[in-house]
């Protein structure tokens, strides 16, 4: 049976897709979006996510989330919502698994540092880099660069894009110039990402000791579900209390997103994917839940992401990225041969260095730093 036969009329379908940049024979056993998911999972960039930080740098502990575990959690949340909304589960999973492939080591601190280094050479943005990874940088196939993913998967990976960059990207960048929306699957993956990182950063923050349960009493979304847990399980404490509370928070956000999005879709009444592209965003939280989620985001920014201990590590991370970039740009012969360009402009060499640094894991970046700047490292 065709796995896409039961989808809503406005869901993305492989048989009506613009397809792949390079034509390939269809698979006898998988849908085209299943093939995309499988290609992403087998990519080198996906494997490296295991050692790229979410909030805490990889060496700070084995139990904290990485980009890999985060991406898997996003995919799980997104698939469960997609099934309820009759959207394409394989597409939403592929987008979710690929959305962080271009992220630098050391999380947002690494991205900010690399963007500053690249300010005279076109800048750096991890969404664009994720697209660059799947379009050009992966080297797995004889007939083309990249993974040759379906148009809708590539579109979903590119969540944000400036107009100047969009003009360089061809069809996948057009929606940013025409003020059109991506598929509902892409919209869904974006909000599933938000559900995952907000709630799991609470878990990691409490596990690290940088956050305390008492602080979260001012966050209604957490406090309300904590009370429910304590009433349901008198005397519960420790990890069980935290896990039960976070689990219920995630469920509440998912249920709200399904209900609010279903209502929005019923109001707009799209019939086709083109209708989706021409309409306002339809995957959304209710106003009340959106307000509660915003309080949670602000709490995490003030109390976790800007905690002095996190700031200390992010300061080191920025220094590592900046000094690696400056050393490589000043002396390209320090780079591995594949990243040394002959007869290249300075901008082209800078972009190649950005590719190299963005592809590093946290620990590899630290090792490269020691190799370049410490005399007792080989």
Task: Give per-residue pLDDT as tens, 161-190.
Answer: 888 999 999 999 999 999 999 999 999 999
Domain ranges of the chain: 29-200+296-309
Nearest-CA neighbor of 157 among 168, 167, 147?
147
Instruction: Please name the residues in contact with 253: beta carbons below 8 A apart, sequence gap of 6 or more.
Output: 195, 199, 285, 289, 293
The predicted pLDDT at position 377 comes to 63
Higher pLDDT, residue 204 or 348? 348
HEC profile of 29-82: CCCHHHHHHHHHHCCHHHHHHHHCECCCCHHHCCCCCEHHHHHHHHHHHHHHHH
* Strand, helix or coil for residue 223: helix
The predicted pLDDT at position 55 comes to 66
pLDDT band with cut points at 50, 70 and 90 for residue 62 = very low
The predicted pLDDT at position 289 comes to 97
User: Distances in Å between the alpha carbon of 212 and those of 119, 195, 198?
Assistant: 38, 21, 16
The predicted pLDDT at position 4 comes to 82
pLDDT band with cut points at 50, 70 and 90 for residue 320 = very high
1-32 pLDDT per residue, tens: 677 879 999 999 999 999 999 999 988 889 99
Q: What is the mean pLDDT of residues 37-48?
A: 96
- Would you list the DSSP string of 316-343? HHHHHHHHHHHHHHH-GGGS-GGGPPSS
356-373 pLDDT per residue, tens: 999 999 999 999 999 999
The predicted pLDDT at position 53 comes to 79
Burial class, 8, CB count within 10 angstroms (exposed 0-12 / middle 13-18 / buried 19+): middle
339-351 pLDDT per residue, tens: 999 999 999 999 9
Least confident of 94-98, 194-198, 278-282: 194-198
CATH 1.10.3210.10 fits 29-200+296-309, yes or no: yes
Least confident of 51-55, 238-242, 260-264: 51-55
The predicted pLDDT at position 378 comes to 59
The predicted pLDDT at position 59 comes to 46
Whether residue 122 is predicted with pLDDT greater than 70 in this model: the reply is yes
The predicted pLDDT at position 290 comes to 96
The predicted pLDDT at position 57 comes to 53
pLDDT band with cut points at 50, 70 and 90 for residue 95 = very high
CA 331 to chain centre: 32
258-305 pLDDT per residue, tens: 999 999 999 999 999 999 999 999 999 999 999 999 999 999 999 988
């Amino acid at each position: 049976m065709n796995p896409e036969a039961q989808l809503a009329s406005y869901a993305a379908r492989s048989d009506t897709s613009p397809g792949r940049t390079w034509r390939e024979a269809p698979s006898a056993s998988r849908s085209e979006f299943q093939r995309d998911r499988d290609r992403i999972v087998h990519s080198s960039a996906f494997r490296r996510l295991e050692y790229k930080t979410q909030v805490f740098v990889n060496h700070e502990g084995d139990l904290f989330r990485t980009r890999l575990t985060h991406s898997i959690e996003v995919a799980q949340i997104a698939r469960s919502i997609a099934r309820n909304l009759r959207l394409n589960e394989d597409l939403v999973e592929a987008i979710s698994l690929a959305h962080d492939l271009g992220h630098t080591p050391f999380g947002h601190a690494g991205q900010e540092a690399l963007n500053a280094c690249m300010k005279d050479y076109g800048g750096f943005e991890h969404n664009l880099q994720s697209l660059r990874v799947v379009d050009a940088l992966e080297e797995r196939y004889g007939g083309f660069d990249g993974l040759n993913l379906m148009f809708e998967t590539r579109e979903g990976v590119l969540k944000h894009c400036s107009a100047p960059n969009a003009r360089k990207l061809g069809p996948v960048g057009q929606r940013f110039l025409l003020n059109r929306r991506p598929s509902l699957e892409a919209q869904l993956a974006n909000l599933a990402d938000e559900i995952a990182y907000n709630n799991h950063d609470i878990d990691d923050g409490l596990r690290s000791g940088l956050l305390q349960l008492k602080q979260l009493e001012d966050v209604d979304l957490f406090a309300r579900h904590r009370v429910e847990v304590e009433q349901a399980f008198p005397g519960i404490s420790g990890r069980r209390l935290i896990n039960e509370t976070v689990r219920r928070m995630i469920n509440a956000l998912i249920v709200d997103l399904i209900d609010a999005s279903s209502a929005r879709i019923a109001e707009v009444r799209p019939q086709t994917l083109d209708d989706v592209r021409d309409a306002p965003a339809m995957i959304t939280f209710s106003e009340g839940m959106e307000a509660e989620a915003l309080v949670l985001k602000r709490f995490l920014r003030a109390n976790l992401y800007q905690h002095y201990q996190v700031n200390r590590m992010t300061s080191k991370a920025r220094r590592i990225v900046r000094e690696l970039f400056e050393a490589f740009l000043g002396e390209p012969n320090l780079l591995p041969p594949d990243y040394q360009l002959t007869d290249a402009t300075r901008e082209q060499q800078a972009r190649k260095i950005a590719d190299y640094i963005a592809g590093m894991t946290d620990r590899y970046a630290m090792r490269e730093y020691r190799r370049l700047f410490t005399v007792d490292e080989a």
